[in-house]
């Protein structure tokens, strides 16, 4: 229980969280965010960028080892979510809200999947919350598992390594950025939610258009 309490405390300080979590802790965070309903609140993009930046500035973790572990965690997490959706099916959409489950997030992912199809598994990797629920929707929709696995693997590799290397590149080329890490994290968070904001604005315009 103390581990979870400490985790929640450190979520407000990502550099401290990365240093505290190490390989095992970050593996658990990425796996939980992608594989379990209640992981939707955990940091993904910002955690990865922060880890890459800190490694470039001397954090004693190996970039390749960390990237490989987190890629496995991301792919395994989505695989678990897929099979949860495949075995539970439509019952999930009738499930009531609870502390660990928010139906609105599942419905949002379902709308995204309906619009973008199988490529949602890749696109959702870069969208907080949606990435937690998109594999569940794919499973509930009985997406061919082989096809899902290919998109899952490609999306997992692309997400983990693009975020880690972005942080590593920033830290290597611009060492002073470490002094402004909070601003970097805020920018990453903003960019990660930007697609959702754009989609919301488009939907709002579409609903207002017939009334004019």
Report how far residue 206's alpha carbon sits from residue 24's, in angstroms, rounded to the nearest whole number. Answer: 45
Strand ranges inside the chain, DSSP E: none
Query: For residue 202, what pLDDT is reported?
Result: 66
The pTM score is 0.80
121 contacts 85 by C-beta, under 8 angstroms: no
Mean pLDDT of 8-14: 68
Strand ranges inside 127-210, DSSP E: none
pLDDT tens per residue across span 64-123: 999 999 999 999 999 999 999 888 877 777 777 665 677 777 887 888 788 778 888 998
14 contacts 43 by C-beta, under 8 angstroms: yes
What is the three-class DSSP state of 101? strand
Backbone angles phi, psi at 98, to 5 degrees: -145, 180
Query: For residue 127, what pLDDT is reported?
Result: 85
Mean pLDDT of 185-199: 65
Residues facing 98 on adjacent strands: 101
Which residue is associated with the tokens 């490694």? Answer: 55
Query: For residue 62, what pLDDT is reported?
Result: 96
Q: How confident is the model at residue 197 (pLDDT cuts 50, 70, 90)?
A: low
Contacts of 10 (CB under 8 A, 6+ apart): 16, 17, 20, 21
Report how far residue 139's alpha carbon sits from residue 177's, in angstroms, rounded to the nearest whole number. Answer: 41
pLDDT tens per residue across span 26-64: 999 999 999 987 888 888 888 999 999 999 988 999 999
| Sign of the CA dihedral running 65, 71, 77, 79 | negative
Q: Return the minimum-mean-pLDDT range out of 77-81, 84-88, 131-135, 178-182.
A: 178-182
Q: Where are the domains of the chain?
A: 2-211
Contacts of 22 (CB under 8 A, 6+ apart): 61
124 contacts 112 by C-beta, under 8 angstroms: yes
192 contacts 126 by C-beta, under 8 angstroms: yes
């Amino acid at each position: 229980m103390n581990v979870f309490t400490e985790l929640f405390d450190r979520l407000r300080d990502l550099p401290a969280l990365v240093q505290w979590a190490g390989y095992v802790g970050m593996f658990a965070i990425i796996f939980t965010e992608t594989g379990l309903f209640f992981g939707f609140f955990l940091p993904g993009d910002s955690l990865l960028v922060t880890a890459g930046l800190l490694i470039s500035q001397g954090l004693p973790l190996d970039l390749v080892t960390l990237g490989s572990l987190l890629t496995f965690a991301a792919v395994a997490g989505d695989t678990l979510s897929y099979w949860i959706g495949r075995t539970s099916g439509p019952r999930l959409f009738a499930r009531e809200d609870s502390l660990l489950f928010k139906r609105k997030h599942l419905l949002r992912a379902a709308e995204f999947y309906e619009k973008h199809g199988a490529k949602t598994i890749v696109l959702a990797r870069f969208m907080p919350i949606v990435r937690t629920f998109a594999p569940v929707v794919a499973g509930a929709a009985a997406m061919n598992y082989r096809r899902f696995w290919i998109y899952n693997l490609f999306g997992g590799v692309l997400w983990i390594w693009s975020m880690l290397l972005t942080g590593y590149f920033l830290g290597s080329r611009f060492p002073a950025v470490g002094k402004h890490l909070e601003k970097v994290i805020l920018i990453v968070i903003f960019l990660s939610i930007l697609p959702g904001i754009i989609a919301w604005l488009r939907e709002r315009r579409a609903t207002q258009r017939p009334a004019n």
